[in-house]
Amino acid sequence: SHSHSRSHSHSTKHPRERAPSKTTVLLLEGRDRDLGEKMAHTPKFRKCLSLILLVFAHLASQILAEDGLVANGDFETIPSGGFPNDGAIEGPTTIPSWTSNGTVELVESGQKQGGMILIVPEGRHAVRLGNDAEISQELKVEKGALYSVTFSAARTCAQLESLNVSVPPSSQTIDLQTLYSVQGWDTYTYAFEPEEETVRLVFRNPGMEDDPTCGPIIDDIAIKKIFIPDRPKDNAVNNGDFESGPWMFRNGSLGVLIPTNLDEETSSLPGWIVETNRAVRYIDSYHFNVPQGKRAIELLSGKEGIISQMVETTPEKPYTMTFSLGQAGDKCKQPLAVMAFAGDQAQNFHYTGPDSNSSFQSVSLNFTAKADRTRIAFYSVYYNTRTDDMSSLCGPVVDDVRVWFSSSCRNGPRFWAFGVGLGLWLLVWALV
């Protein structure tokens, strides 16, 4: 039987199993092609195809803006006619992915205006906005979510310049007069909560300067959907570790400036507001010393840069606020100190050097709550600058902020039990 099976397995193919001839293949292909053409011309097929294309088009239109650069957010995509020699463009232009209005100029790194070299924050190209000029881009977003836009901006003249950023009806004007770094540009953030699923992000020069040749330069525009963390059970502070915040470029070494914002519901730093007219700096562990996690806050400009939060408390109950105080590793001139507020208590804490091998120290402040909500706040005691350039603003770092109920009665039950036990032992000893 084995020999029979072997001989059968090696037998020649049955005539019906022979490969089809070339003529047969061509005939079959022709038949299938004719059948396909007939199907393509049927109303049912065309209807199905239209439906499929409509579904794909709808899905494509519903793609939300991803975290990171918006389309051509670095302005490095070459326009259809190439980059213009003089850069200036009047009226609507063909900057890929953007719509412009007014005098919008594509500037190039090293380009001169008069005796001054124009600043391009990153790459080779950026956009300058003339008086009352603007650029805008449509974005697909999640209605009701919290978004933050990160962008770099520079001024071109020594006089007052400002930049208006908006996602209508939300709007914010940022003063570019203060330079926080010697690079000539800074990175800012702006937060908004969309009321529609399609919004228009607009950058506009409000035209406050007298010289029409002046105007802000913008570059590296990115967006991020902000994660709003749940408040920890053992901590009344929301986002006390500052891990939830605006988009940061991995190669961006300046941090991100969070300008004045009094609306805690629409903040690039969930839970926190910036009360004063100067910004605070959001820093990362890739370029700065961060006490805990990957993000922290560097306080700048003395009393002009206050960050605060309202935390839930129980009236007349004692609490403790603790936080990490450190230095950012950016050559900031000593001394470094923070003024900390918790309710009606205020105390300044000087950075005295690291504990063991760390670059920060833990400090605490006790207070008694007077209401259902208590304000905690921080600002830099001094107006610090860096030792290497004597002009870039810097300051102490704050991180890992915690507020918790600190009643001295916490240990009461243990001491009560100890006292009862000791009394019973003494009673037994006396009876014996």
**Does the residue 272 lie in any domain?**
no
Model pTM score: 0.79
Quickly list DSSP for 397-415: EEEEEEEEE--GGGGHHHH
Q: Do 71 and 216 sit in the same domain of this protein?
A: yes
Round to whole Å and give the CA distance between 396 and 298: 6
335 preceded by a cis bond (ω within 30 of 0):
yes
Average pLDDT over residues 105-128: 90
Number of independent structural domains in the chain: 3
**Per-residue pLDDT reduced to its tens digit, 196-234:** 999 999 999 998 766 777 899 999 999 999 999 988 889
**Does the residue 215 lie in any domain?**
yes
Q: Do 101 and 211 sit in the same domain of this protein?
A: yes
**Does the residue 230 lie in any domain?**
no
Average pLDDT over residues 286-299: 97
**Does the residue 115 lie in any domain?**
yes
Q: Do 52 and 80 sit in the same domain of this protein?
A: no
**Does the residue 13 lie in any domain?**
no
**Does the residue 3 lie in any domain?**
no
CATH number at residue 146: 2.60.120.260
Q: Do 41 and 180 sit in the same domain of this protein?
A: no
Q: Quick one: which H or E segment has residue 53?
A: helix 43-61
What is the structure's pLDDT at 63? 66
Side chain identity, residue 233: K
**Does the residue 231 lie in any domain?**
no
**Per-residue pLDDT reduced to its tens digit, 341-365:** 999 999 999 998 765 466 799 999 9
Q: Do 248 and 374 sit in the same domain of this protein?
A: yes
The 10 Å CB-count burial string (b at 16+, else e) for 404-414 is eebeeeeeeee
Q: Do 255 and 112 sit in the same domain of this protein?
A: no
β-bridge partners, 250: none
Quote the domain boundaries for residue 53: 33-62
Q: Do 135 and 58 sit in the same domain of this protein?
A: no
Radius of gyration of the chain (CA): 33
Q: Do 108 and 147 sit in the same domain of this protein?
A: yes
Q: Do 221 and 320 sit in the same domain of this protein?
A: no
Residue at a domain's end among 158, 192, 225: 225
Q: Do 88 and 168 sit in the same domain of this protein?
A: yes
Residue at a domain's end among 159, 193, 225: 225
Residue 416 predicted with pLDDT over 50: no
- HEC string of 114-136 equals CCEECCCCCCCEEEEECCCCEEE
What is the structure's pLDDT at 10? 43
Contact 299, 280 (CB under 8 A): yes
Where does residue 400 rank: exposed (0-12), middle (13-18), buried (19+ CB within 10 A)? Answer: buried
Contact 253, 181 (CB under 8 A): no
Round to whole Å and give the CA distance between 149 and 67: 10
Residue 378 predicted with pLDDT over 60: yes
**Per-residue pLDDT reduced to its tens digit, 155-195:** 988 777 899 999 999 999 999 978 799 888 999 999 999 99
The mean of the pLDDT values for the chain is 83
**Does the residue 392 lie in any domain?**
yes
Average pLDDT over residues 88-108: 80
Q: Do 172 and 194 sit in the same domain of this protein?
A: yes
Please name the residue that has the structure tokens 């560097």.
298
Q: Do 368 and 398 sit in the same domain of this protein?
A: yes
